[in-house]
Structure 1
C-alpha cells in the first residue's frame, strides 16, 4: 500500500503544529520521520490515524483520497499505530488485549471467541519470533514485550501501514536491538513502516528514507548514509556536538556515603539491594551501569526514601537520611529525576507551571501565609520553559499534552531549579533528541562543577562513558566494582553480566 500525505496542516489555536507537510511512504520500506521533541511528528501521525482532524491537506492511499472520522476508519483502511505510551489494559491477557475493540464471537450465544484471538497471537508471534504467550497478563510483561503486543494488535487487523511513535523511548538497549530487527522483518514482509524518532543510530540502522521535520515544517530529506552530525544539524538547525566537553573533575570531600544498604521487596521477599556500599564526593559524577533490572532503580529510590531500606545507612553531608520522609530528603538538598517520568515525574493533569513547583510550592517566594503566589509561579515557569526550551503552547497547558521528551524537560527544569547537594538522575535523557541531550549533559556537568555530587543511572553506555568520573557496575543487586571511565567496553560488558575477577572467572 502506498501512503501519501499532501500539504497536511494542523493548528491548535494560534499554534501551527503541522505546516503544509508532504511525505510519501511506499510498501516494503521504512520511512523515518526525524525531528526534535515537539517538532510535530506525533501530531502528523495522529492526523493520519484519525485522532485529529486536519485543518488542510489530503491523505491518499494507493492514489485515492481518504478521510478518517476516527482510528476505527484508519484501521479498517489498513493503518495501524503503536503509540509511545501503550494503549493496553494491564489486567487483561495478551489475547484479550488483541481482540479488544475487534471482538469475534461464536455460537448462538455469541460468546467471545478467545481461542481465535489466542491462535492469532501465536501465529503472528511465531512468524516474527516475538515469543509472546497469548495467556500472559500484560502487566506482568516487560516493556519490550508489551510493545510487541501492541505490534501484534496492529498486525492482527491486517495493517499494511504501521506507524511506530517513538518506539524505543522506554526500551533498554537490548530491547531496542530486538525491535529494530522486527522492523526489518516487517519491511521485508511488505509492510510500510513509518518510524517516528529522534534517535540517529536507529534511523541509520533501519530507514530507507528520512524526512526531517523542524518546528512543524519539512526542512529536508536525507539518505541513511548521511552522518549523524549532518542529521543532527538538520534536526536542530545548528551544529550539534556529539561529544561531551568537560574539564577534569575538581573533587572535594565526601558528600554521600552509602553503607551496607539492603532492600528486600515486601511482596516477593527478594533481596533487590544486597549490602551496597559506596561514596560520592562533591564535584564528581558516579555513573551506575548495568543491565536494567539489577537494582539500579531501587538504589536511586532507596537513597531518596521512596522505598524503605531493610538495613544499612545513607548519609548526606554527614546527616542520616534513612527513616526520613521524601520531602525532608528533598529539602536536605537532593534533586531526583525518576526513571519513569509519566508515573513518577509529572502530574499529567496539572499545568506546566504547577508541575514546575511540585517540590517548591510550600516555601517562599512561591507561597506566602499558606497561599500560592500566582505571579511568582508564572514568572518562574516562563523562565524555566525558556531556559530548558520546553515546547508548549502555554505554561497553562496540561503537562500530559506535551510530548514525552518535553515532559522530561519539565522534570529536569524543576529539579535543577533548586540549590542541590546531590543530584540523582535515572535515565536523564531517555526520550530526548540530540539537541536536548547536549543541553542536559551540559547542565549536569555544570552541577558537578558547582560542587554538587551527582549519581547518573543510565542504560546508555555512550552516556555513561560521556559523563562519568567513576563507574559503578551493578549485577543482581550488588556493586560488582567501581572503575575508572577509561575501562574498555568489553571489560565493562563482562562486569555487567556478572563476570569479574581473574581471567578464568571472566571466561
Structure 2
C-alpha cells in the first residue's frame, strides 16, 4: 500500500509515524562558478522508497554527496529524527544512520569480501584480536540477505566480476543497519535474477521501516518500487510525483525540459540490403571454455546485431574475446573483411578494425586522470602527428568536433575525464573510438548507469553508425533496449546461442522465453 499524499507513513509498515526520518531543506551547493544544486528540499519517511530522477548534471549526485557527508552544503539544513545535523564527513553521516551505496564502488580490491563488508566494524576476540571466523559468518549472513550465497567471504574482491562486487558493496551498507539507505544505480551491473532478489531485499527493508533513496535510470524499477518520485533538472527540484501518480512521459518531459521525442524510441532503420557479400564479420565455431562454445553468425554492414540473454551466459566474454582480452584458449574462426583473425591481445583486434566500448568505463574505457582531449585523441595519435610532434591544432579540431557531435557537457576539452558525470564520461569513451572510424563497433552494455537523455543520444550514435554502413554488435543488461536498436538478436543461454530473433519478433517476452527454455527458433 503506498504512502498517503501528505507523506505519512504507509499503513502496511511497522509503526505509523508521520515525522520524516530525514528532512533536507533549501540545500544549495556551488563548485566555483557552477551552481550544482539550488534550494533543494527532500523529505524521507520511514518505510518509504523515494526515487530521484534526472539527467546527467541534474544535481542527483551532488544531493547524495551532501546527504552522505562527502560534501557540505553552502546553504540549507539537514535534520535526522527532528535534530539538525552537520555531516562533516561520511563517517559522521554513517554514525547518524545514513548509508550510501555509490554507483562507483568504494571497495578495496586487495582485501577479502568479509574484510570489505565489515571494515571498521571487525568483531574482536578478547577485546584485541580480530575474530576472523565471526567476521566471515557475519559477512555470509549479509550476503545471504541479498541472495549472494555463491560469493565466498574469503574471496579477494579484486577477483570478483563487477556484478558480485556490486552486491558486496550493498552488503557493506547493510552491515550498519541504516535508518536511511541511499542506493545509486544499485542494479546497473546485476543480472535479472540478482535484480529480482535485490528488489525483494529493498521491499523487506522498507517494511522494517528503513527510509530508502533510489536512483535508477530504469524506469520500470521506479514504477515498481518507488512510493514517491522527485525530478531534478539543472540543479533544481522541478517536480514530485505523489503515490500512484507517476507517468513516464511527464517524468521525462520534466527531466529533459521538453516532451520526450518519439525518435528516441523509434525502431532502427533496416540494415543494408543484407546480401551475403555485405558480410563484414564472419564467426564460426568460436569457443572459449568454460565461457562459451560453438558460436557462429554473419554480421553485415549497416546491421545492429544484439547478443541478449540473462547475465552471465557468455555474452560479455564473447565480446571481450573478440577484442583480444583472452590470451589463451580461444578456438574457432573469425574473419573480418575476408581476413582471418584470432586475436590474442587488443592490438590485434584494433588492427583488424574492431572497436570496443566496454561496460566498465572507469577501468576499461577511459583514463580518469587525463583530459577529455587526451582521452579522445589517444586512439589516433599517429594521424595527428606532424613530422615528429603532435599537432595541437589538429587535436583540438578533432576533439571539439566530437564534443559537439555527441553533446558532451564540459567546461573545456582540458578538464579531466573523471570530473564529468557518468553519461558524459561514456560519451567520451565512445568518441575515442568514433575518431578511428572502424568497420566493426562492439557496444558492451554502453548505457549502464546512464540517464534517459544520454541514453537517447547514445542510441542515436549507434543508429548513425549503422546508417553509414558500420556493423554493430550490441549487448545490454536492459533487455528493453534490444527492440529499440537491433535488426537481429542472438539469445545466449549457458554459453551457446539458444535462438535468434528478427524484426518485430524482438520483444522482451521472446528474449526471456529463449533465455529460460529450449530454443524455439533456429540459431543464425
TM-score by length of 2: 0.87
Which residue number in structure 1 is paired with residue 373 of structure 2? Answer: 353
**2:240 maps to 1:216:** no
TM-aligned CA distance change 1:393 to 1:186, over 3 Å: farther
Q: Structure 2: where are the runs of 5+ without partners?
A: 1-19
Contact between 2:52 and 2:214, CA under 8 Å: does it hold in 1? yes
Equivalent in the alignment of 2:8? none
2:191 to 172, 176, 187: 172
Whether the aligned pair in 1 keeps the contact of 2:304 and 2:474 (CA below 8 Å) is yes
- Residue by residue, what CA displacement relative to the aligned partner does 1:57-94 show, whole Å, maximum 9, x if unpaired? 22111232211221111111111111112222234333
**Residues 77, 338 of structure 1: alpha-carbon distance in 2 compared, 3 angstrom cutoff:** same
1:267 equivalent in structure 2: none
- Give the match's secondary structure for 1:75: helix
Residues 2 and 315 from structure 1, CA distance in 2 versus in 1: closer, same or farther, beyond 3 angstroms? same
> For residue 381 of structure 1, what is the aligned residue in structure 2?
399
- Structure-2 residue corresponding to 1:231: 251
3-state DSSP of counterpart to 2:73: coil
Secondary structure of the residue that 2:172 maps to in structure 1? Answer: helix
TM superposition shift of 1:452:
1.3
**Separation (CA, whole Å) in 1 of partners of 2:350 and 2:148:** 42
Output the CA distance in 2 between the equivalents of 1:396 and 1:54: 27
**2:357 aligned residue:** 337
1:345 CA drift (Å): 0.8
Q: SS of the residue aligned with 1:10?
A: strand
- Do the aligned partners of residues 293 and 230 (structure 1) sit closer, same or farther apart at CA in structure 2, a change above 3 Å counting? same
Alignment CA distance shift 1:412-1:126 (3 Å): closer
RMSD of the TM alignment (CA)?
A: 2.6
The equivalent residue for 1:395 is 413
Deviation of the 1:212 alpha carbon: 0.6
Say if 1:144 and 1:171, in contact at 8 Å, map to a contact too: yes
Deviations 1:132-159 (A, max 9, x none): 7673415355544433333332232231
| 1:142-179 C-alpha deviation (Å, 9 max, x unpaired) | 54443333333223223111111121222233322322
Residue number in structure 1 paired with 2:425: 407
Q: Distance in 1 between matches of 2:164 and 2:437?
A: 40
Alignment of 1:433-444 (within 5 A): 433-444=451-462
Q: Which residue of 1 aligns with 2:497?
A: 479
Instruction: Say yes or no: does 1:446 pair with 2:464.
Output: yes
* Alpha-carbon contact 1:28-1:191 (below 8 Å) kept: yes
2:82 equivalent to 1:63: yes
Indicate if the aligned counterparts of 1:259 and 1:275 stay in contact, CA closer than 8 A.
no
1:111 Cα deviation after fit: 0.6
The answer on whether the counterparts of 1:41 and 1:213 sit within 8 Å (CA) in structure 2 is: yes
Aligned-pair CA distance for 1:382 = 3.0
Q: Pairwise mapping of residues 46-445 of structure 1 onto structure 2 (< 5 A)?
A: 46-107=65-126, 110-124=128-142, 131=149, 135-139=153-157, 141=160, 143-223=162-242, 224-240=244-260, 241=262, 243-252=265-274, 253-264=277-288, 270-308=289-327, 310-323=330-343, 326-327=346-347, 329-363=349-383, 366-445=384-463
Give 1:501 shift. 5.1
* Cα distance per residue 1:236-284 (max 9 Å; x no partner): 11122362243333335333333434343xxxxx343323221111122
Aligned partner of residue 46 in structure 2, secondary structure:
coil
Q: CA deviation at 1:350?
A: 1.3
CA distance in 2, matches of 1:468, 1:181: 31
Q: Alpha-carbon deviation of 1:332?
A: 4.5
Distance in 2 between the 1:258 and 1:271 partners?
A: 22
Q: How far is 1:435 from its partner?
A: 1.6
- Answer whether contact 1:91 1:137 (CA < 8 A) is retained: no
Normalised to the residue count of structure 1, the TM-score between the two structures is 0.89
Is 1:5 matched with 2:24? yes
Is residue 254–residue 317 contact of structure 1 (8 Å, CA) maintained in 2? no
